[in-house]
Amino acid sequence: MVKMSTVPEEGWLTAREAAARLGVKRASLYAYVSRGVLGRHTGPDGRTSRYDAAEVDALARRGRPRRANGEPVVEVAVASSITRIPEGSDQRLGHRYRGRRALALAGDHTFEQVAGWVLDGRDEPIELGPALGPEPAEATAPPAGDVLARMRLAVERAALADPLRQDLSAQSLRASAARLLRALVDASGPARGPVPDLELASGESVRASAAGRLAVALHPDARPPRWATGAINAALVLLVDHELATSTLAARVAASTRADPYACVVAALATLAGPLHGTASALVRRALLAPDPVATLAELSGGSGLAGFGHKLYSGIDPRAVALLERVERAAPAHPARLAGLALTEAVEHRLAMPPNVDLGLAVLTAAAGLDADAGPVIFAVARTAGWLAHVAEEYQAPPLRFRARALDVSR
């Protein structure tokens, strides 16, 4: 983002000075510019770059948070063209995938179409690959309730069935993406009934979509309400990517070693094993109907924030939460889960001044649709796999082994 401006001469910083004031390397400074977080201005000679000192200081105050104990947050900046999260008043418009608004895509595009667009910028959907068939009799299955373990096992089985998994070309990566997404959808549960069609806002009816398969697999009676398939598709689209979340960074680090895409997805899935990323919607569901939802949610969150509320990238309500909650409001306005979500939101905003995020929306949606208790984490994992693979593809184009963190010696 290159700008011309009339800031007084004493208000300008060189790249070296701006990076020092932010406490980052120049590569991170340039990444801020590429993401639109910081403006880069052209000097009087038309060649040199300079930065508005006031803008840099504002970013330093906003963008370098500290933990409660004073320990600095580890910040990693990676140049990427996949997702942009706006700032300021534009946040209400939501994030964009390669320039396209995710909120708009969620209504009139299938998850498969968005997955293809995010992967490589082509308007060609990723059709879910063929099923792998039943698990071998000798396989050791994880506990029935550990859905994430089932998903990791499904990815490993898909890898073993792909003789070209070490081919990191763009064409091969699309084929791997189809196999991976089908494996994860199948791992969510058995096909308990006929798959409902997906009805898009355009009036188009889509058969055998990922959203339809998940709606049936995640519903105890295989009879989800008619609106559930469209709502699940919207959730999948909105959750595809969200910049460098923890799981996405794990996938990119693995890709930098030139691990195959299956291994990269396993690395990302491993980060979902904890309660703080990807599985928070399941905690919110457990708290929704508790006698004291706020206290219950605080206990389940383990003292690390409050699951379903607050987000470091949004100053107000997460627009993804708004989109999902509006779908539930239109389809099931009087459902107890929606009313409980409203009461919980009001209590948290009153007591803690924290707006809801997408995990609250996903919890209310899955509960109102009558889906399994772990449906939220399943939907998150399937959706985010598409984003992980896009970042993996992007990382394959970067120099290998470029992530090399350093330890600060605090020994005495």
Active site residue 359: yes
Number of neighbours of residue 73 by Cβ within 10 angstroms: 10
DSSP string, 63-89: H--B-TTSPBPP------SSEE---GG
| Cross-strand partners of 206 | 198
Q: Are 371 and 230 in contact (CB under 8 A)?
A: no
Kindly give the interhelix angle for 293-301 and 336-352, rounded to the nearest 10 degrees.
80
DSSP state of 49: E
Select which of 109, 242, 311, 391 is catalytic. Answer: 311
Q: Which residues contact 66 (CB under 8 A, 6 or more apart)?
A: 72, 73
Helix (H, G, I), strand (E, B) or coil at 54: helix
Catalytic residue among 241, 359, 372, 374: 359
Residues 6+ apart with CB under 8 A from 171: none
How do 100-101 and 83-84 pair as beta strands? unpaired
Q: What does 281-344 look like in DSSP terms, one character per residue?
A: HHHHHHHHTSSSHHHHHHHHHTTSSBTTB--TT-SS--HHHHHHHHHHHHH-TT-HHHHHHHHH
| Residue indicated by tokens 């997460």 | 318
Identity at 172, one-letter amino acid code:
S
Tokens 């929704």: give the residue. Answer: 288
* β-strand partners of 401: none
Return the residue matching tokens 């089985």: 157
Is residue 374 flagged as an active site residue?
Answer: no
- Report, as residue numbers or ranges, the catalytic residues: 311, 359
